[in-house]
Structures are given as structure tokens and as C-alpha cells.
Structure 1
Amino acid sequence: MKVVIVPYDPLWPDAFREHQRAIENSLGHLFPVVDHIGSTSVPGLAAKPVIDILVGLAADELLDKTVEPLTRCGFTYFRKYEPGMPYRRFFALLSMPPGETAPPLVDIGDPFVTGGPIPSLVNIHVMVRHTYHWKRHLALRDFLRSHPEVAEAYAAVKIGLSAREFGDTNEYNAAKDAFVKSAEQRALAWWKG
């Protein structure tokens, strides 16, 4: 599969706000902090047309309390990624073929991944606020917003990768991982300062 990278769309912040309201309504009893992250949150940055949303909660024991409310809203819960990232609960709003319904759960061992014929429109990353992983997402976003030369270099990496074939979006993410990890470390040092 090819990963589609498109020019920045000024409507992406509006799409985020629409989903932010739905998430806050569904999870209000957990007092979430909901932020727009990822490439669609950086003005001018080319990106996959997927809205990434970071939901911060106060404690680990609240993570599993998001599953029922978010799946009720139509998001698919990807439990399959928890063994590798136990600190995160991941959900996606999938663009299903006509006549098909998104599964509420993709469990450990299920072969299903997003991308290709079933792309994700929205990804939700739920984790505890003020942890390393929560901070790295926000730091990278703010760093790219404040450093257009790094954002341009990131766009070039993604556009270059979009010419290649990948088995799924996880392979694409692995291909850009070295750039992202380096930028994250710079971003965290900058953010602390």
C-alpha cells in the first residue's frame, strides 16, 4: 500500500474541534484534557489526512474506563497494541467500505491494521497526563510549530516515503521513526527550556 501525504488543510483544526467536543461529552466524567497532535496539528505541514488526538487522564486506572464510552461513539478500540504500549489506549474512527460496519474491538492477535482499503480518519491516543509519552507528543507538536525548518524537513521525509510501498501504516511509521525520535529528543529539550 502507498501512504497518501497531502498538503496542509486549514479545515483540519475544525475537524479536531468537532471530535474534541464528542470526546469531552463522552468522557466528561473522567475530566480529560484533549489536544490536537500529529502533523495535522502543525499549520503548513503536509500530512496523512488523519486527525490525531491526545486524551490526557489523571491516572492509569482511568485508561480502561474510556473503552466503553468511545466505542459507543463509533471508535474502534485497538487492544492489539497494548502489549507494546501498555501506557496507551488507542482508538480509531475507520472509513469502512459501503455496507460494512467498523468492528468495536481489534484484539491482541487480530491481523487487522489501519491503512490500505480501510483507512483511519481519526486516531485517539489516551494516556496519563504529565508522563513522558504524553509530554513527547505535545513537545513535538509545539517544536514543529515553532521551527518551520524542522517541519519542512519532516514533510520531505514523509513525501519521500509516500513513493514507497508498505504492508501497512505500522511499516510506514517504522520507516520515519529515526527522524521522529531525533526530533522528539530535540523537542523535549527545547520544551523543558
Structure 2
Amino acid sequence: MKVVIAPYDPLWPDAYAAQQRLISEALGHLFPVIEHIGSTSVPGLAAKPVIDILVGVASDELLDATIEPMNRRGYTYFRKYEPSMPYRRFFALLSMPPGEPAPWLVDIGDPFVTGGPIPSLVNIHIMVKNTWHWKRHLAMRDFLRSHPDVADAYAALKIGLSAREFGDTNEYNAAKDAFVKSVEQRALAWWKG
């Protein structure tokens, strides 16, 4: 599979805002903090045309309370990633073929991943706010917004990788992992300062 990297689209913030409203309606009783993250949140940055959203709740005990309300709004719950990331609940808004309903659950061991024949339009990462994982997402976003030279290098890497074949988006993410982790460390140090 080829990963599509699109030029920055000025409509991405509007797409985020529409999803933010739906998530607020679904999870309002949990008083979430909702942030646009990932490459689509950085003006000018080329990206996969997938809106990434970070949702913060007050405690670990509230993570599972997000599942049913998010399912009711049409988001697919990916339990399959919890063994490696127990601190996060992951949901996606999938672009299903006409007439085919989205699954409500992709369970542990299920071979389904986003980015293959059924792409994700929106990825939602729910975790406890103000934890290290929460902060690293925001630090990376803010660092790339403030350092256009680093954002340009990231875009060049992603565009280069888009010429390769990958089994799924997880393989693509692994191919850019060293760059991302390096920038993330710089971003966290910069963000604390």
C-alpha cells in the first residue's frame, strides 16, 4: 500500500472543528479537553489527509466510559492497540464502502488496520490529560508550528516515504519513528522551557 501525503489543506482546521463538536456532544458529561494534533494541525505541513484529535479526560477510570458514547456517534473503537498502549483508547471515523456499516469494534488479534482498503478520515486518541503522553503530542504540535525548518524536514521525509510500499500505516509509522522520536525529545525540552 502507498501512503498518500497531501499538501496542506486550509480546510483541515474546519474538519477538526466539526469533529470537535461531535466529540464534545458525545463526551460532554466527562468534561473533556479536545485538541487538534498531528500534521494536519500544523499550518503548511504536508500530511496524510487524516485529522488527528487528542481528547483528555481527568482519570484512567474514565477511559472506558468513552467507548459507548463514541460508538453511538459512529466512531470505531480499536481495542487491538490497548495491550501496547493501555493508557489510550483509540477510535477512528472510517471511510466505508457505500452501504457497508463501520464496525463498532476492532478487537485484539483482529487483522484490520486503518490505512488499507478502508481508510480513516479521523483518528481520536483519548487519554488522561496532563500525562507524559498527553504532553508529548502537544509539544510536538507546538514545536512544529514554531519551527518551520523542522516541519519542512518532516514533510520531506513523509513525501519520500510515500514513494515506498507499506503493508499498513503501522509500517509507515515505524519508518518515520526515529525522526519523530528525535524531534519529540527536542520538542519536550523546548515546551518545558
| TM-score calculated relative to the size of structure 1 | 0.99
1:41-61 per-residue CA deviation (whole Å, 9 max, x = no partner) reads: 000000000000000011000
**What secondary structure is seen at the aligned counterpart in 1 of 2:152?**
helix
* 2: CA distance, partners of 1:131 / 1:91: 19
RMSD: 0.4
* 2: CA distance, partners of 1:177 / 1:120: 20
Aligned twin of 2:77 = 77
Aligned twin of 1:26 = 26
**What secondary structure is seen at the aligned counterpart in 2 of 1:22?**
helix
* 2: CA distance, partners of 1:79 / 1:113: 11
User: Which runs of structure 2 are paired with 1:44-193 in the superposition (5 Å)?
Assistant: 44-193=44-193
1:116 Cα deviation after fit: 2.1
Give the counterpart letter for 2:120 in structure 1: S
* 2: CA distance, partners of 1:164 / 1:71: 34
* 2: CA distance, partners of 1:186 / 1:165: 30
* 2: CA distance, partners of 1:101 / 1:134: 31
**What secondary structure is seen at the aligned counterpart in 2 of 1:136?**
helix
Aligned twin of 2:16 = 16
| TM-score calculated relative to the size of structure 2 | 0.99
* 2: CA distance, partners of 1:36 / 1:27: 16
1:158 Cα deviation after fit: 0.3
* 2: CA distance, partners of 1:167 / 1:86: 24
* 1: CA distance, partners of 2:51 / 2:115: 14
Percent identity at matched positions?
84
Alignment pair present for 1:4 and 2:18: no
